[in-house]
């Protein structure tokens, strides 16, 4: 019983350790911007090591937990509104796919890599490059599926635009697998009798949960209708003027600008309210039942009626004919609140 508990401990420690390394490593490299070159990352090699060193198929949770943890630290939203961020699903399922393929070939890989010969170096380099290549092909297809027209020319455009990033990522895979992954595999192979980490032959029944998990993530990545392009509000990207609502609140003496990703049912008024919460400025409004509309009395202490100025709102430069609480807005719109003399 003591030996069994010790063996479980030897499995638990790498599981926790690799999750921590993956999470903190990605946060430092990507979140803090200290990459030696663009697209340098360690999640791929952490994924590979988790599968190779942890006997249980539960090793698949290492890349997923590392990505979720680092996304939370970095601030990448896993959900946008009440919907799952689908490009996140493509990212997560990409690492899970690499993990599954490694799991299915685990013993053959171990037998070659643990020998420490020139062939081992070549195999490790090939694994680094091949894993990155498969991952980038998969995630670029995700960008095409979610953000572009579903035709061959758009698909070619996505892959062409991604080539510079893929090149750096391939170098990252080559460096991390050979400089980090291979030395660790060789060390573990040498100390195997003590560490008890050499992979065991997994039965098919033990691989089924891993296969189902990965297939489930892949299926979730394609939720929605493939024949139409999803709304950009369903996809997290940088808050650019094309992928969020641009908000400009201006008087003669000050201006507030903001970008907010649209939520289902957003109006010019609800977006103003959210901007006020995020930027800590006050708004005062009155609802008039006879008009079924809300009138803005003041924003950031600029009170309507001062010197004949009142709050007017414009959407894409146009003055709407309904109240702000009745005018829907979406990503790509420019919402301007101007403290001015009303146009006649």
The more confident residue out of 231 and 286 is 286
Q: Nearest CA to 99 among 134, 41, 51, 166?
A: 51
Q: Do 309 and 340 contact (CB within 8 A), yes or no?
A: yes
Query: Which position has the token pair 């894409």?
Result: 316
Please state, in angstroms and rounded to a whole number, the distance separating the CA atoms of residues 263 and 285.
21
Q: What percent of the chain is predicted at pLDDT more than 90?
A: 43
Q: What is the pLDDT of residue 309?
A: 93
How big is the CA angle at 110 (ends 105 and 114), to the nearest 5 degrees?
A: 160
Q: The tokens of 238 are what?
A: 């940088």
Q: What is the pLDDT of residue 63?
A: 93
Residue 209 reports pLDDT greater than 90: no
Q: Do 278 and 260 contact (CB within 8 A), yes or no?
A: yes
Other CB atoms within 10 Å distance of the CB of residue 292 = 11
Q: What is the pLDDT of residues 100-145, one digit of tens each?
A: 999 889 888 988 998 888 899 999 999 999 999 999 999 988 888 8
Q: What is the pLDDT of residue 344?
A: 67
Residues in Cβ contact with 136 at an 8 Å cutoff, skipping those fewer than 6 apart: 162, 165, 166, 169
The more confident residue out of 12 and 245 is 245
Q: What is the pLDDT of residue 243?
A: 62
Report the DSSP pairing between strands 302-303 and 293-299.
antiparallel
Q: Do 338 and 250 contact (CB within 8 A), yes or no?
A: yes
As its CATH architecture, domain 245-340 has Beta Complex (2.170)
What is the crossing angle of helices 43-53 and 182-190, to 10°?
20
Please state, in angstroms and rounded to a whole number, the distance separating the CA atoms of residues 94 and 220.
12
Q: What percent of the chain is predicted at pLDDT more than 70?
A: 83
Q: Do 57 and 207 contact (CB within 8 A), yes or no?
A: yes
Mean pLDDT value across the chain:
83
Q: What is the helix (H) or strand (E) element at residue 293, kind and residue range?
A: strand 293-299
pTM for the predicted model, two decimal places: 0.62
Residues in Cβ contact with 342 at an 8 Å cutoff, skipping those fewer than 6 apart: 310, 312
Q: How many helices (H) and strands (E) does the chain have?
A: 12, 9
Residue 308 reports pLDDT greater than 80: yes
Q: What is the pLDDT of residue 235?
A: 35
Please state, in angstroms and rounded to a whole number, the distance separating the CA atoms of residues 89 and 202.
27
Please state, in angstroms and rounded to a whole number, the distance separating the CA atoms of residues 311 and 338.
6
Q: What is the pLDDT of residue 3?
A: 41
Q: What is the pLDDT of residues 316-330, one digit of tens each?
A: 999 998 899 999 998
Average pLDDT over residues 253-262: 87
């Amino acid at each position: 019983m003591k030996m069994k508990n010790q063996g479980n401990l030897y499995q638990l420690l790498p599981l926790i350790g690799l999750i921590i390394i993956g999470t903190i490593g990605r946060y430092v490299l990507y979140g803090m911007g200290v990459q030696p070159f663009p697209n340098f990352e360690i999640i791929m090699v952490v994924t590979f090591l988790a599968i190779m060193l942890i006997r249980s198929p539960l090793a698949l949770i290492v890349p997923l937990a590392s990505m979720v943890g680092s996304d939370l630290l970095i601030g990448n939203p896993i959900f946008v509104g009440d919907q799952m961020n689908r490009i996140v699903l493509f990212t997560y399922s990409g690492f899970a796919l690499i993990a599954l393929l490694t799991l299915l070939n685990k013993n053959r890989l171990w037998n070659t890599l643990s020998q420490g010969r020139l062939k081992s170096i070549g195999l490790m380099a090939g694994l680094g490059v091949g894993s990155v290549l498969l991952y980038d092909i998969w995630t670029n297809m995700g960008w095409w599926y979610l953000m572009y027209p579903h035709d061959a020319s758009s698909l070619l455009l996505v892959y062409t635009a991604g080539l510079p990033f893929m090149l750096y990522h391939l170098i990252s895979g080559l460096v991390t697998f050979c400089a980090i992954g291979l030395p660790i595999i060789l060390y573990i192979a040498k100390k195997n009798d003590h560490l008890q980490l050499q992979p065991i032959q997994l039965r098919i029944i033990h691989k089924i949960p891993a296969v189902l998990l990965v297939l489930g993530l892949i299926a979730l990545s394609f939720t929605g209708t493939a024949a139409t392009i999803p709304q950009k509000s369903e996809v997290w990207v940088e808050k650019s003027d094309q992928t969020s609502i641009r908000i400009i609140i201006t008087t003669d003496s000050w201006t507030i600008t903001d970008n907010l990703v649209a939520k289902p049912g957003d109006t010019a008024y609800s977006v103003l309210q959210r901007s006020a919460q995020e930027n800590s400025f006050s708004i005062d409004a009155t609802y008039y039942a006879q008009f079924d509309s809300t009138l803005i009395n003041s924003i950031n202490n600029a009170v309507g009626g001062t010197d004949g100025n009142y709050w007017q709102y414009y959407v894409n430069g146009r003055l709407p004919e309904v109240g702000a609480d009745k005018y829907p807005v979406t990503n790509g719109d420019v919402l301007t609140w101007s403290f001015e003399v009303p146009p006649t």
